[in-house]
């Protein structure tokens, strides 16, 4: 009874000392109220739109559907989730007691000249002894300081991190496939522009050759017209090569063999959404998978501090076992005479390892502080990324408008220069210059339109869209 009281008092002391376990570190509030150059508006955000609502191009949707299934990074991410799930289930078993079952039989014959042999002959009248046993034992470590609970919390956070990692892979994949597709449409448009302008320069070269044969222009005019014709012509195989390379890159990205991509969409038919609601930064942080990963990393770091803290305190282990034991097989299952049992409890306190355990605790706290710093850094990066993409959308819109007007003016200038040249009212340099400027302007217009589309999909991803 006296020993029991000592154990109880010791446990109370240990429980009281357990109150010194450090508190969890909460997430820092670092999100701004609004994004740069924006004012508070509707709380809705394009980042919350489902993928098929935001992207309505049938060909692109089909490419994305294939990519989400066959892309190798997505497959690896799913396997990481499976592995983390197995580890989490393994850690959950820590709450359960360890159960062991033993069934055994043995026979021992000591030497007749040994003390054991003489006693055996004297008391049992036999030269050997048998032992038969069926035993079941239970060992349970009481989770007084929350070590097992924190191990489970860390394992759960790690498991959830793998799911957020999958979402992050998916958002990048959606962005990369979309941008690759838009680039492909840009190359299609530029190839069409080059072919159209080549036909125009062919006509110009033909007219200038006629005028040269009539002695109206010099050979310099012919050479300059042919140079423009060849410059335009060389764009065609260059663009055809880029189209094949882009198709192959897209096919590999979505996890299929390289081949042509059937498409009906045209770059000039794609519409830039007029309203791109951002919502509030705090909502963006709750949607972005990389931010959620950082939050879960802090949860895991908090739990690991708890594990390291609990390792400094005593552990209570309770053991119970019982079964049937007999010297003769015939008496093995005689109940209750063959029954036996044992119950014991023990407290283990680390002494010589305490310095090492304290060092591990300090390291765990430092890792937690690093996690907070990394979270702050990631939030700033995310807010900056939204600002960057939004600025691209706004400035490219203005740039496209100006370039479009310039292209329209050059289109009229080229038509008028050709008409005046045919009537002998303009020289060949005006025609060649107008056609060359028109070609460059139309190619640039297609490039800017693609940059707009890429900026919109980049903004969608930056706001946390693409995984739902």
Task: State residue 278's pLDDT score.
Answer: 76
CB half-sphere exposure, 60, CA atoms < 13 A: 26
Task: State residue 240's pLDDT score.
Answer: 95
> Going by C-beta distance under 8 Å and a sequence separation of 6 or more, which residues neighbour residue 436?
228, 231
Find out whether 141 and 317 touch, Cβ atoms under 8 Å.
yes
With 0-12 / 13-18 / 19 or more C-beta atoms within 10 angstroms meaning exposed / middle / buried, residue 467 is buried
Q: Is the pLDDT of residue 18 over 50?
A: no
Q: How does residue 331 score in pLDDT terms, banded at 50, 70 and 90?
A: confident
Task: State residue 9's pLDDT score.
Answer: 42
Percent of the residues in the chain that have a pLDDT greater than 90, as a whole number: 29
Domains of the chain in sequence order? 28-314+353-462 (1.20.1600.10)
Task: State residue 4's pLDDT score.
Answer: 46
Phi, psi of 215, rounded to the nearest 5 degrees: 75, 20
Q: How does residue 318 score in pLDDT terms, banded at 50, 70 and 90?
A: confident
Tens digits of residue pLDDT in 236-282: 999 999 999 999 999 999 999 999 999 989 998 998 888 787 777 77
- Residue 292 or residue 286, greater confidence: 292
Separation CA 276–CA 255 (nearest Å)? 31
- Residue 162 or residue 24, greater confidence: 162
C-alpha distance across the termini of the chain, in Å: 63
Nearest residue to 453 (alpha-carbon basis) of 384, 397, 403: 397
pTM score of the predicted model: 0.79
């Amino acid at each position: 009874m006296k020993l029991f009281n000592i154990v109880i008092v010791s446990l109370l002391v240990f429980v009281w000392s357990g109150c010194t376990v450090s508190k969890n570190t909460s997430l820092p509030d670092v999100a701004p109220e609004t994004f740069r150059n924006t004012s508070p508006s509707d709380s809705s955000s394009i980042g919350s739109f489902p993928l098929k609502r935001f992207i309505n191009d049938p060909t692109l949707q089909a490419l994305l559907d294939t990519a989400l299934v066959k892309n190798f990074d997505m497959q690896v991410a799913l396997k990481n989730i499976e592995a983390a799930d197995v580890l989490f289930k393994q850690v959950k078993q820590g709450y359960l007691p360890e159960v062991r079952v033993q069934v055994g039989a043995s026979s021992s014959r000591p030497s007749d000249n040994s003390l054991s042999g003489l006693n055996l002959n004297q008391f049992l009248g036999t030269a050997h002894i048998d032992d038969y046993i069926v035993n079941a034992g239970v060992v349970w470590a009481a989770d007084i300081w929350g070590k097992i609970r924190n191990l489970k919390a860390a394992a759960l956070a790690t498991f959830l991190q793998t799911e957020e990692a999958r979402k992050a892979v998916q958002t990048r994949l959606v962005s990369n496939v979309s941008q690759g597709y838009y680039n492909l449409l840009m190359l299609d448009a530029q190839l069409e522009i080059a072919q159209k302008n080549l036909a125009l320069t062919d006509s110009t070269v033909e007219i200038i050759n006629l005028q040269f044969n009539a002695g109206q222009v010099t050979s310099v005019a012919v050479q300059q017209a042919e140079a423009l014709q060849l410059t335009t012509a060389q764009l065609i195989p260059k663009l055809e090569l880029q189209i094949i390379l882009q198709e192959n890159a897209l096919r590999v990205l979505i996890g299929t063999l390289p081949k042509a991509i059937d498409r009906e969409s045209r770059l000039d038919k794609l519409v830039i959404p007029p309203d791109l609601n951002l919502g509030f930064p705090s909502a963006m942080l709750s949607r972005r998978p990389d931010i959620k990963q950082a939050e879960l990393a802090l949860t895991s770091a908090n739990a690991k501090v708890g594990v390291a803290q609990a390792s400094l305190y005593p552990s209570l282990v309770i053991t119970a076992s019982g079964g049937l034991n007999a010297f003769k097989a015939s008496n093995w299952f005689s109940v209750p005479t063959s029954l036996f049992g044992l119950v014991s409890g023990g407290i283990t306190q680390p002494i010589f390892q305490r310095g090492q355990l304290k060092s591990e605790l300090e390291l765990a706290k430092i890792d937690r502080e690093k996690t907070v710093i990394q979270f702050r850094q990631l939030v700033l990066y995310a807010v900056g990324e939204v600002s960057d993409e939004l600025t691209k959308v706004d400035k490219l819109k203005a740039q496209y408008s100006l370039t479009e007007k310039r292209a329209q003016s050059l289109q009229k200038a080229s038509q008028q220069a050709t008409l005046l040249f045919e009537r002998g009212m303009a020289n060949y340099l005006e025609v060649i210059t107008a056609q060359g400027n028109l070609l460059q302007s139309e190619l640039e217009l297609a490039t800017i339109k693609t940059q707009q589309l890429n900026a919109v999909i980049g903004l969608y991803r930056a706001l946390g869209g693409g995984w739902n």
